[in-house]
């Protein structure tokens, strides 16, 4: 009985992890992420909100040595695609 419960618990955790519902704690992903990625994310969010113009966005992206659209964004779910 106890083994069956343990097997169901492990199976449920595995299923949720594969579906992307659970994952590593947020501080694990933040520790592996470079500060440049955070700066790019903030810059892109400000541009999307309309806080900065296109020229200002491109100027600040060049300061970060970043060509927007040329690289992949780090994902919080370990790179898995959502359905």
- Reported as a pLDDT band with limits 50, 70 and 90, residue 55 is very high
pTM above 0.75, yes or no: no
- What is the DSSP code string of the chain? -HHHHHHHHHHHHHHHHHHTSS-S-HHHHHHHS-HHHHHHHHHHHHHHHTSS-HHHHHHHHHHTT--TTSSPPP-TTTTPPP-
Q: Work out the average pLDDT over 24-33.
A: 63
pLDDT for 71 equals 65
């Amino acid at each position: 009985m106890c083994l069956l419960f343990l097997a169901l618990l492990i199976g449920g955790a595995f299923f949720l992890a594969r579906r992307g519902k659970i994952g590593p704690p947020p501080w694990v992903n933040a520790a592996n992420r470079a500060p440049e990625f955070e700066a790019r994310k903030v810059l892109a969010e400000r541009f999307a909100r309309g806080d900065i113009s296109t020229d200002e966005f491109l100027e600040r992206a060049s300061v970060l040595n970043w060509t927007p659209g040329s690289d992949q964004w780090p994902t919080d779910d370990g790179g898995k695609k959502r359905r």
